Copies of this chain bind each other. A is one copy, B any other.
């Protein structure tokens, strides 16, 4: 057995407030432990808190609406309404990412205003300060339509390849791989969540062993030229490719209305 991937907790981050400088805090808590090829996974909650992205809990519904671009599907049940929406970042998920867990009582937390830009800023500052090539990932928790439970995913990324496009790479038998693009950034977010958890206050985790995905200083400096270079926005499927743009009930109802109109006399 050969150790290939290590995931480190970064203890002592503490409670983050509006205006706190995440770069200074992360740099201090990681100390000189950071190495070339490390990827730092940061919970979106602390990025939102540092940005002051809160709203009063009494205005939760308005906050969800303001963050929503489009309702994809909704379902009424005993406890209320589950709304799956596309938010202003293009992410499809419940309640546009507005969350009331792990934030100050009486408030709800919105997603960071531009998670890719936040990741880029943190990544640039840490690369400069420590002189190492590293990646930064901002994570959030998302549900899945056909599977129970949530997993953490990447909503912001910088400094590493978020996708591993293996199409055409020879497999173990020398045949080119079919439709194989690995969502590396989402797999990293999931691995980080195994260490972070949801209740322990550990919003920052360092992953070591993924250097093959981390951009060199030269490529990082040149910006993202390749589609899989960096930026979690690249993980969002375009609407033209989306076979589940509406919930089944919503699409059925839209079709039904159109069918009735088409058959209406006159």
Residues of A near any B CB (own CB < 8 A) = 1-11, 15, 30-31, 33, 73, 75, 82, 84, 91-92, 94, 99-105, 141, 144-153, 163-164, 166, 169-173, 175, 177-184, 186-188, 190-191, 193-195, 197-199, 201, 205-206, 209-210, 234-237, 242-265
Contacts and interface: CB of A to CB of B under 8 A. Distances in A.
A198 B69 CA distance: 36
Given A5-B194, A248-B248, A251-B255, 11 more contacts: A4-B8, A4-B9, A15-B172, A84-B243, A144-B144, A146-B242, A149-B184, A177-B198, A251-B251, A255-B256, A259-B260
B183 A105 contact: no
A186 B178 contact: no
Contacts of A258: 252, 255-256, 259
Contacts of A250: 251
B243 A75 contact: yes
A141 to B, nearest CB: 8
Contacts of A172: 15, 102, 199, 201
Contact of A248 (B197, B198, B206, B251): B251
Given A102-B173, A264-B263, A242 B145 contact: yes
Contact of A244 (B2, B145, B201, B261): B145
Given A1-B206, A102-B173, A145-B237, A180 B244 contact: no
Given A9-B1, A150-B183, A177 B199 contact: yes
Contacts of A2: 8-9, 11
B183 A149 contact: yes
A87 to B, nearest CB: 11
Contacts of A101: 171, 175, 177-178, 180
Nearest to A196: B4
Contact of A169 (B99, B153, B199, B262): B199
A1 B5 contact: no
A190 B151 contact: yes
Nearest to A205: B4
